[in-house]
Structure 1
Amino acid sequence: MTTGAEKLASDFGISGASPEYEVNYCFGQRGPMGLVKETSLAELFHRYADILWDEGNHKYNVKAFIGELDEILLGARFSTFSQDLLDELIGALRKRGNSNATINRKMAALSKLLRKAYKMGDVHSLPEFRRQKERAGRLRFLEADEEEALFREIEIRSELYLKFSIFLVDTGARLGEGIGLKWNDIHEGRATFWITKSGRSRTVPLTARAKKVLKDLADRSPGPFSDVDPQKFRAVWNAAKQDAGLGDEADIVPHILRHTCASRLVRGGIDLRRVQMWLGHQTLTMTMRYAHLATHDLDMCVPVLERHLAS
């Protein structure tokens, strides 16, 4: 007996109608108003990347993520993206040694791309994306002596990259936020970051040494760090890290400067709500990663416990 989906597939010359296709046809969900052409992840990224992601490091990373997923699929073309296909991708990433946190980042990019394709009619069925459970892991930050050793080695290689590193650690800015900073974003000792991961701007006051860095770079245009190349900066960072005696620590990447800024705020007694505002976290949950550093908040508990012994 020919099903509705098989008949529709036959009418349009489509072979191998999937169960998802049957559901879409029979129940009037987002099925084809006409022929849904098959496409690939690479094609979808080329079609929608400029709409979905701003220029910068994040878009560069997303391009790499989608490229890897397309490669795992061998460039396969599809008109429906099944749950089985998604599970196969996750399994392949895990075999490649990807952690759950890394898989989640790649799946977030894939989900965003497929949802756009779904709205535009490029695919007519989507899987359910389930977040993989992530382990908290160790939160690494630089101690003062480590920063001094690392920055000394960076300075040997590039004065600009040293100043950039100082600015990042004293503002907690991400690489892309620092590079995208323009001179008219700096006013009365404060810097406003407009190009942020959350899409929300934030303004932070500047330390004395951050102000000095900006003063030293006043002749650069259109912003103090516009000439910073992310890949070259990472190359200099890795070489400096090696010579500073930190080469064996995988966690010491440029993003550690942001963690270091946050850790210094929390250990210095700044409440987590203010730290959240400083870093531009959308939720307090992200900032809570640093809560364990606020050990001084527990000091008041000791007299309460000792009161029992004194009675």
Structure 2
Amino acid sequence: MPSATARPGATARSGGRRKDPPRPDLRALRDALPEKERAVVTDYERHLSLERGLSPHTVRAYAGDVVSLLAFLTTGEDSAAARGLGNLDITQLRAWLAGQRTDGAGRTTLARRAAAARTFTAWAHRVGLLKADPGGRLAAPRAHRTLPGVLRADQADALMTASANGAVERDPVALRDRALIELLYATGIRVSELCGLDVGAVDFARRVVSVVGKGGKERVVPFGIPAATALSEWLEEARPELAGERSGQALFLGVRGKRLDPRAARRVVHEAVAAVPGALDMGPHGLRHSAATHLLEGGADLRSVQELLGHATLATTQLYTHVTVDRLKAIHDRAHPRA
């Protein structure tokens, strides 16, 4: 467990994992691909976006891994380009992953890139670009499932209090930030889901918000009175001051009146959490972890938390049970005379 007095920084944010080396300029790599391979990437992005309904962030990540793979295949004297992409085999896939490992990629990154390669080769085989699917034989080290850093309940309360105090002077941006932080913690939704919300998604009568999650799946998530109060003040007092021709029905707006960008939302949360004494450095995903942990510690059952968070499998939600057990062990070690 991290120390309660840990200072914000890279180690706290990453949970102690080794930091991967910077990725190469994927745009430059993509531009350098042969025309045929560039067209393949474009078609694959269209498949991921339109047919599978993945988020723009996920599409970018998958496409970036494919660009890396195709760049590996089409460079060097013994490249696959000379023989054609249709001859891609398991040996080349393993060599690509081995190169990633040599460059310093960690187990989690290797596991993700192997999964991205398998998804790509399955699609390429299905559309006739590959005679067989070599990705089905590709293995990678299992990703380490690290415990996410979370706020203690008293730190979460301090964060909400500070956000409310910051909005006392009724500044539109401060009111927006308060509503943003309250809703993230109250619901545990992802930052992409938050920024994608429209005004009509909020039902104040039932105190629920309709969220469109990964794969276009919609779920309804409740929120409490403090979040309802902050949202009401934002919508009634502050949003009209920021709204403009480009606002549309977006629930949260940036200072120029457009839909709030996830990067701006992350910056808001990082800065707010940094002001809480002893809190680990975290962004919106840290608030999501905190909300899930506090729900379980308060007696919520695992299936309900899975539904609230929009996890596809219960195995993902079960990670939070490890967090709560770890916290209980720490309390036991400090308080029990026979620990």
Task: Indicate whether the TM-score tops 0.5.
Answer: yes
Distance apart, 1:140 and its partner CA = 1.4
CA distance in 2, matches of 1:132, 1:50: 29
Aligned-partner residue type, residue 216 of structure 1: E
**2:264 matched residue in structure 1:** 232
* Mapped contact 1:38–1:79 kept (Cα < 8 A): no
**Correspondence for 1:132:** 141
Query: d(CA) in 2 for partners of 1:39 and 1:50?
Result: 16
Residue number in structure 1 paired with 2:208: 190
The amino acid across from 1:230 in the alignment is P
- The match for 1:306 is none
Task: Name the residue aligned to 2:62.
Answer: 62
Deviation of residue 123 (structure 1)?
A: 2.2
Do 1:174 and 1:255's aligned partners in 2 also have CA atoms closer than 8 Å?
Answer: yes
In the alignment, is the contact (CA less than 8 A) between 1:72 and 1:92 conserved in 2?
A: no
Q: Deviations over 1:131-166 (max 9, x none)?
A: 531223223112245446667589699533443232
- Residue in 1 aligned with 2:230? 213
**Whole-Å separation in 2 of the counterparts to 1:240 and 1:62:** 31
CA separation of 1:63 and 1:225: change in aligned 2, threshold 3 A: farther
How far 1:65 moved relative to its partner? 3.3
- The 5-angstrom pairing of residues 143-158 of structure 1 reads 143-147=152-156, 152=162
Query: 2:188 touches 2:288 (CA, 8 Å); kept in 1?
Result: yes
**RMSD of the TM alignment (CA)?**
3.4
Structure 1 residue identity aligned to 2:59? K
Matched residues in 1 for 2:294 and 2:180: separation? Answer: 18
The 5 A counterparts of 1:70-219 are: 70-73=70-73, 77=81, 78-127=85-134, 128-130=137-139, 132-147=141-156, 152=162, 159=174, 160-187=176-203, 188-194=206-212, 196-218=213-235, 219=239
Q: What's the TM-score, normalizing by structure 1?
A: 0.69
Q: CA deviation at 1:108?
A: 2.6
Q: For each residue in 1:191-243, what CA deviation from the matched residue of structure 2 results, as whole angstroms up to 9, or x when unmatched? A: 1212x125432111111122223323334641312622123333455555666
* Higher alpha-carbon deviation: 278-287 or 263-272: 278-287
Picking from 297, 308, 318, the partner of 1:267 is 297
Q: Which residue of 2 aligns with 1:284?
A: 314
> Shift of residue 181 of structure 1?
1.5
Which range moves more in the overlay, 42-51 or 279-288? 42-51
Counterpart of 2:130 in 1: which secondary structure? coil
The amino acid of 2:110's aligned partner reads I
Q: Distance in 2 between matches of 1:192 and 1:186?
A: 7
Kept in 1, the 8 Å contact 2:293–2:321? The answer is: no
After superposing the two structures, state which structure 1 stretch, 109-118 or 64-73, moved more.
64-73
Q: Is 1:46 the equivalent of 2:42?
A: yes
Give the corresponding residue for 1:222. 249
Instruction: Give CA deviations for 1:98-128 in whole Å, capped at 9, x if unaligned.
Output: 3322222233333223322221112223222
- After TM superposition, the score normalised by the length of structure 2 is 0.64
CA distance in 2, matches of 1:245, 1:45: 46
User: Which has the higher relative contact order, 1 or 2, with Cα contacts under 8 A spaced 6 or more apart?
Assistant: 2
Between the aligned partners of 1:273 and 1:292, the Cα distance in structure 2 is: 15
Q: Which runs of 5+ in 2 are unaligned?
A: 1-33, 254-258, 329-339
Whichever of the two has the greater Rg, that structure is 1
CA distance in 2, matches of 1:203, 1:181: 12
Where 2:220 maps in the other structure, the secondary structure is: strand
Letter in 2 for 1:136: R
CA distance in 1: counterparts of 2:229 and 2:92, whole angstroms: 53
SS at match of 2:148: coil
Write the letter of the residue equivalent to 1:138.
L
The gaps in structure 1 that reach 5 residues or longer are: 1-36, 299-311
For residue 245 of structure 1, report the CA deviation from its aligned partner.
Answer: 6.8
Q: For 1:122, what is the secondary structure of its paired residue?
A: coil
Secondary structure of the 1:217 match is helix
Q: Which amino acid counterpart does residue 232 of structure 1 have in structure 2?
A: A
Q: Aligned partners of 2:139, 2:108: CA distance in 1, in Å? A: 12
Q: CA deviation at 1:173?
A: 0.6
Question: What are the superposed Cα offsets for residues 87-108 of structure 1, whole Å, 9 maximum, x if unpaired?
Answer: 1222222233333222222333
Q: Per the alignment, do residues 276 and 162 of structure 1 end up closer, same or farther by CA in structure 2, a change over 3 Å counting?
A: same
Q: Give, in whole Å, the separation in 2 of the partners of 1:164 and 1:229.
A: 12
